[in-house]
Structure 1
Amino acid sequence: MDEVEVVVAHSERATLRVGDVFLKVDADQARVDVEVEMMALAPVPTPKVLWRRPPVLALAALPGTTLGRLGGPSTGAPAGWAAAGAAIRRLHEAPLPPRTGRAGRSIAALTAELDDECESLVTNGVLPADLVTRNRQVAEAALRPWAPAFTHGDLQIAHLFVDGDEVTGIIDWSEAGQGDALYDLATFTLGHEEHLDDVMASYGFGIDLDVIHAWWSLRSLLAVRWLIEHGFDPFAPGCEIDVLRSRM
């Protein structure tokens, strides 16, 4: 009998693996609706939907492996990172989906959220004021007009699978929609700056490094408190706090 593996679990959702099947349990059915819709529209490989019985979505496991994980060493060769860059480019050049995704929040809304979060991090003693202030300055470059693209919205390194120099699939599409393409690129390379050149070489034109750096800072600042509250450790080596320290 296959064992049940808990892939990720927190108060909002959980993902289990049983053999070659992933079971996603999510109390927010609207989020699952978005995931299924966006996978159908995406011009890149995605998991096959096996069945859906709310609150559970069953997906077939993808072949291949990830290129690594945040807080750990990269296990992928440069060819795999280059393949990822090309696949992300295909996604960003696809016809726009009908909804705005996480990467498409307005400048005003994002600025307000960032300022509130920075104040909370300092006031509650979560992070030193100088670390927050410096990264808030770096993050400013991301708060600019951008042309909408088809974005994944949560393109963590653990969400893209490769086999050699071929992308075999991308998972977790619940945050997808119209948004800033550089948000995806920054999310994918977060904590793995050494592979940014490999991704850029195949992604092509339109990459502003200042904006990539800004998104690293911005995403990390917004994530710290949520991660702590949901049982994750942003202070682990190579994770969000180290990303923020690297901007000092």
Structure 2
Amino acid sequence: MDEVEVVVAHSERATLRVGDVFLKVDADRTRIDVEVEAMAMAPVPTPRVLWREPPVLALAAVPGMALGRLGEPSPASPRAWAAAGAAVRALHDAPLPPWPGFRLDDLVSRLDGECDWLVRNGVLPAGLVRRNREVAEAALRPWKPVFVHGDLQITHVFVDGDRVTGVIDWSEAARGDAMFDLAVLTLGHEERLGDVVAGYGAGVDLDVIRGWWSWRSLVAARWLVEHGFDPDSPGCEFDVLRARM
């Protein structure tokens, strides 16, 4: 009998692996609805849906290995990273999903609130937060919406050699800024940005990507701390913020 592996678990959702099956448990049915519909629409390899019985979604494992992990050197080749960039471009060129994404005003408000929390609670120095708030400003501008994954961490992109074999965890998919996906994919792996851009092609704004690195790291900090993760681990979010100084 296969053992049950806890992939991730916190108060919002949990993912378990049993053999070659992933069981995602999410009390928010909307996230499951989005995930299933987004995977059906996406022009890139995605996990196969085995069955769905809310609040549980069963998915088949995708072959290959993840591009890497935040805070660790990536074992994937430059060509694999370029292939990931090409897959992201295919997604961004696809028809828009029918549901909206975040509003710019909401993103600005969220950033301001999280920056205030970081300083008020002494989590990060005020100067570091202020500098990254300035860098994030480059991302907080109107954009042409595209079909975005919305949470394109390197652990969500699987490759086999130089080929993308699957992109997982689509619950945040929506209409959004193309540069946001590229930023999340390369967060903490700035040295791989050139490979991703080589595969993605034209239309990349590096200042905007750096802005989203700062935005993402600032707004994620409180959630990570409150759910038992450490954004101050080597190579993780706080190091991303320090690199902007």
Give the superposition deviation at 1:118: 0.5
Q: Secondary structure at the match of 1:235?
A: coil
CA distance in 1, matches of 2:67, 2:111: 29
Counterpart of 1:45, as a letter, is P
Q: Secondary structure at the match of 1:141?
A: coil
Give the superposition deviation at 1:203: 0.3
CA distance in 1, matches of 2:34, 2:70: 25
CA distance in 2, matches of 1:241, 1:161: 25
Give the superposition deviation at 1:47: 0.2
* Aligned partner of 1:244 among 233, 241, 244: 241
Give the superposition deviation at 1:95: 0.6
TM alignment of 1:18-167, pairs within 5 A: 18-101=18-101, 105-167=102-164
Q: Secondary structure at the match of 1:142?
A: coil
Counterpart of 1:63, as a letter, is P
Moved segments of 4+, more than 6 Å: none
Deviations 1:136-180 (A, max 9, x none): 000000011110100000000000001111111100001001100
CA distance in 2, matches of 1:62, 1:22: 10
Aligned CA-pair RMSD: 0.7
CA distance in 2, matches of 1:100, 1:153: 12
TM alignment of 1:187-206, pairs within 5 A: 187-206=184-203
CA distance in 2, matches of 1:100, 1:11: 26
CA distance in 2, matches of 1:140, 1:197: 22
CA distance in 1, matches of 2:87, 2:224: 28
Using the size of structure 2 for normalisation, the TM-score is 0.99
CA distance in 1, matches of 2:103, 2:49: 32
Deviations 1:12-63 (A, max 9, x none): 0000001000000111111101100110000101000001111110000000
Structure 2 counterpart of 1:7: 7
CA distance in 2, matches of 1:108, 1:20: 41
CA distance in 1, matches of 2:81, 2:185: 10
Q: Secondary structure at the match of 2:137?
A: helix
Using the size of structure 1 for normalisation, the TM-score is 0.98
